Amino acid sequence: MIVTVTMNPAIDKTVEIDTLLPGGLNRIQRVEYDAGGKGINVSKTICELGGESIATGFLGGNAGRTIARVLEEKNIRNDFLWVEGETRTNTKVFEKSGAVTELNEPGPAIGVAQAEALLRKLEGYADSQTLFVLAGSVPKGVDSRIYARIIRMAHEKGAKVLLDADGELFRNGLEAVPDIIKPNRAELEEYAGIDGQASDEELRNLAQGLMAKGIGTVMVSMGKRGAMMVRPDYAETCPALPVKAHSTVGAGDAMVAALAYAWDQKLGNEETMRLCMAVSAGAVTTVGTKPPSRELVDSFLASIPVQAAGKPGSETKD
């Protein structure tokens, strides 16, 4: 069972324009609305892949009801805590040049009692067959050690955790030793205090250092350079697929969904790597934060040579 946790969900509003004119009139050519938030995006993608998940976290107001309705229409199970205030709306402005301007609202503040109630709810789902996906930011009022607390609780119950966060949430979460992590290159560099772009060898060394602490899978997304997956018996880099990108927004969430789905389906190293690359490639071709279809993912899977994902024990050169 996969349980996605989105503490700060949102309605994702995507608008497309020619060129953003600050302080002037901007005519919108296209608008898309999606139920969003990183964990919710993960649940939507898992659904498209043919898997199942339970989406939980905090929702409030009309925006929250809209998100719940969208998930129900897609037959995605959800079990949110309802709070005072209005779930946020995040606006992403896309220019024809490819530039993206993001305007993210703060969302409702969450009290200590509400955070504790969510922890109790998650504990009810925790057992040896559960993977929790902890993804994205947390709202005002929630302690930055919340993910670490969830990880420890999950492990006490025999459950597994996939962590996708940044900054303090990531750093604190690592102290509790999640089972799977999916940082992007910049997040891993920030964590390690690297000033500048790390080489693939440096990233691999960082990933192996995290594994030495007990983390089982480190997947590093590297944008146009592809991704690197490091496990005790596997360390490979796979190049990004040459697709025509509409937007890179949501590609990281798609990769997290692929990792979770692969865990649920008990896929091997190479199958997992290939699925991650195909799903994230599919995500960049969609509008807004919509997930790629299974049909599209399968078409990309067919185009990834087996050797592109490498073989256990081999080395990848820069």
Rg (CA), the chain: 19
DSSP state of 40: H
Strand partners, 57: 6
Tokens found for residue 137: 């930011």
Element (H, E) at 34: strand 30-36
70 phi and psi angles, rounded to 5 deg: -60, -45
Strands 88-95 and 10-17 turn out to be: parallel
Beta bridge partners of 28: none
CA angle 274, 275, 280 (to 5 degrees): 105
163 CA to centre of own chain: 8
Check if 253 is active-site: yes
Bridge partners of 81, per DSSP, are 58
| Beta-carbon count within 10 A of 66 CB | 16
Structure-token pair, residue 64? 């929250």
Residue 247 belongs to what H/E stretch?
none
Report the 10 Å Cβ neighbour count for 236: 22
Residue 16 bridge partners (DSSP): 30, 94
Q: Of the listed 12, 34, 179, 253, which one is catalytic?
A: 253
Q: Give Cα 148 to chain centroid, integer Å.
A: 17
Active site residues: 253
